[in-house]
Amino acid sequence: MINSKADLKKYIEADKIAKNIDDSSLKSKIQSFLYPEPIWKFQKLLRKTEYYQNKNKTIFEKAYFYILLMKYKKLSLKLGYSIPRNVFGPGLAIMHYGTIVINSKTKIGKNCRIHVCVNIGASGGKPEAPQIGDNVYIGPGAKIYGNISIANNIAIAANASVGKSFSEENIVIGGVPAKKIKEFDIKTILKHL
């Protein structure tokens, strides 16, 4: 969780690396200012709202938090995201606009790459939601649901339906219902590890 300014900076830097964003040159800074990338703008708002939600706030910081929250919700609707705060660890890379729905009880570790039309949530009216490890790739259209856990270093294939836990690392899972497809080095997809 983001509890300090140092944490906030660490999370934003990790997200920037995961999304392969280089804003070190003057040209890229001007381009980013004139034509801000909406997904990156959303991710920064997500991290800032997490920080202000988690810290003890002065009256001015409370007001600022509600302004950020309003912007965050408006951009969420525009992009089609239903992503609650304090779910993702550092190194989040949202790749596309479009529907992404995540249950607020879900916890996802560091270095997650997530694509469009992903749904992660509870199942059967129970409140528990998936717990997903570090260095996980979630392909387009994947559905992950129930009181399950997914190990570190796993790639979840496009349109997979994952309703059971996977404890083996370094694999690809896919299909309906999901099963192990093959062993896999996640570094071939997540280059920043």
Q: 180-191, pLDDT tens digit by residue?
A: 999 999 999 998
* Model pTM score: 0.92
Q: Is 125 left (phi over 0), alpha (psi -120 to 50) or beta?
A: left
Percent with pLDDT over 70 in the chain? 100
In one-letter notation, the amino acid at residue 16 is K
DSSP label at residue 191: T
pLDDT computed for residue 110 by the predictor: 97
In the chain, pLDDT over 90 holds for what percent of residues?
85
CATH 2.160.10.10 assigned to 99-188: yes
Is the confidence at residue 131, as pLDDT, over 90? yes
**pLDDT, mean over the chain:** 94
Question: Where do the domains of the chain lie?
Answer: 5-82, 99-188
pLDDT tens sequence across 39-60: 999 999 999 999 999 998 899 9
**Residues 111, 91: Cα–Cα separation, whole Å:** 4
66-107 confidence digits (pLDDT tens)? 999 999 999 999 999 999 999 999 999 999 999 999 999 999
- R_g (Cα) of the chain, nearest Å: 17
Residue 113 has what pLDDT?
97
How many CB atoms are closer than 10 A to CB 111?
26
Contact 8, 34 (CB under 8 A): no
**pLDDT value at residue 34:** 84
